[in-house]
Every structure is written in structure tokens, then in C-alpha cells.
Amino acid sequence: MCRHLAYLGEPLAIGRLVLDPPFGLHRQSWAPRAQQYGTMNADGFGVGWYADGDPVPARYRRAGPIWADGGFADLARVVRTRALLAAVRSATEGCAAGEAAAAPFGADRWLFSHNGVLPGWPGQLAKLAALLPPEELLGLEARSDSALVWALVLHRLRAGRPPGEALADTVRTIAEHSDARLNLLLTDGTSIAATTWGDTLCYRAVPGTGVLVASEPGDDDPDWIRLPDRSLLLATAESTTVQTLNP
């Protein structure tokens, strides 16, 4: 399992979103408060963000724990963004190590993260892999369950499916083949789509700033709202809607 967050709104320093909150993503790498599976997320981390005037996000990913990367603190202090997706990783057994396996995954204008697991990786997931064209399967960023989930989502996005529909259809398809946990998080820098399917997710409107979506609250602000399991969240900086994600 992993922990992840996304932000849309007025420009903020990356560190204010990832490093500064007392129970934020940095602390969740070694002491998550609400994680239902696993106790640490030290198998890598990554941050993706958008610069004004450029629809293609930048990414900074590393194979080690976020607390061990001194250079990231400097970057996070000075880089400001209106949109961000960040994650800390707890690797599924049998999946590849290395920064290529750390979220966020990305393509075109998209950033993506998977908090969960596909049991039976890799041997029992041949039917899922067969749903992708060979060139897309060969183009996986890493040999991991999360990279496969991302490829299935991206296939739908490139076919013209809206973000929420792409996530929901991917979750339902995988659930037909595997008893998976599938908390997915997706952004294009202007909107966020997310699912709950087996672990925690919450969101909070930031007055005058925007919206935060996270695996768990980064502070004790009472305005955090926890989503029920099997939900689909769609958000912009100004509005948030939640729908039931039916099997």
C-alpha cells in the first residue's frame, strides 16, 4: 500500500503541501495514522507538479524514502505550483524496485497514483495484461502492479474517456479478475479524479486556496471529510462531487 495526495488551487510551495503538515505525506512515510495495510511507506516517493503555461507536468521521483532525500527539501521550499500529485510507496511483494516504480506515473498531461495491491502479481494477472495492446504492455514504466493499473487507465483516457469514467471502468474491470485494493488518484492539473476501493481517502476544501485530496488528513482540521469505501470523487479547485462506485 501507499499514501498519496493531490492539490488544486492558488500557488503554494511544494513543501507546504508535502513536508510541513504535522501529519502530512512526509510523516506518513514512517508513521501513517489511518493506513489499513502496512506500517511504513519507505520504498520510494515522488512528486509531480504543473508550471503556469505548461500543460505537461514535471516529476521528481526517487527509490528511497522521502526523509532520506536532502535535496528534495530545497526543491520543495522554492518551487510553487497550482496543481500537484505526490505519493510515498510501500511496494507490493514481487514488484520492481527503483524510482521508475514510484508514483506519480505520468503521460501526456496526466499524473497518476495507485494506493493498493493486485494480489497474485504477476502470474495470476495475465487476463488483465491481455486487455492491453502489446505495444502498451511493453511500454509499462516499471514491472509492478501499479504500473499495470496505470496502463489500463491510460488506455481509456487516450480512447477519449473522461477521467472519472476511466478510473471507474478500470476499477470494475480489475475487480472482475482480482480481489484488488484500488484507491486511484488522477489529475491533469485542472481537475482531480479519485476512487476508494479498499483503503482510506479524504478531502478538504482550503478556503481561498483550493482543494486537497489525500489518503489521510495531514492535520487535525475538522473540515476533512472521509469518503465511504467504493466511492468516486471528482474535484476542481472550486467544487467537489462524490458518487457511489458500484461494482
Amino acid at 83: A
Nearest to 180 by CA among 134, 130, 128, 232: 128
Residue pair 48/109 in contact (Cβ under 8 Å)? The answer is no
* Joined grid coordinates for residue 56: 505537461
Instruction: Tell the residue number behind the cell numbers 491510460, with chain if given.
Output: 154
* Joined grid coordinates for residue 232: 468516486
Nearest to 3 by CA among 190, 16, 33: 33
Question: Is 202 noted as a catalytic residue in this protein?
Answer: no
Q: How much of the chain is in helix, strand and coil states, percent to nearest 5?
A: 25, 30, 45
**CA quadruple 166, 169, 175, 181: dihedral, nearest 10:** 30
Instruction: Tell the residue number behind the cell numbers 483503503, with chain if given.
Output: 199
1, 2, 88, 171: the catalytic one is 2
Please give the positions annotated as active site: 2
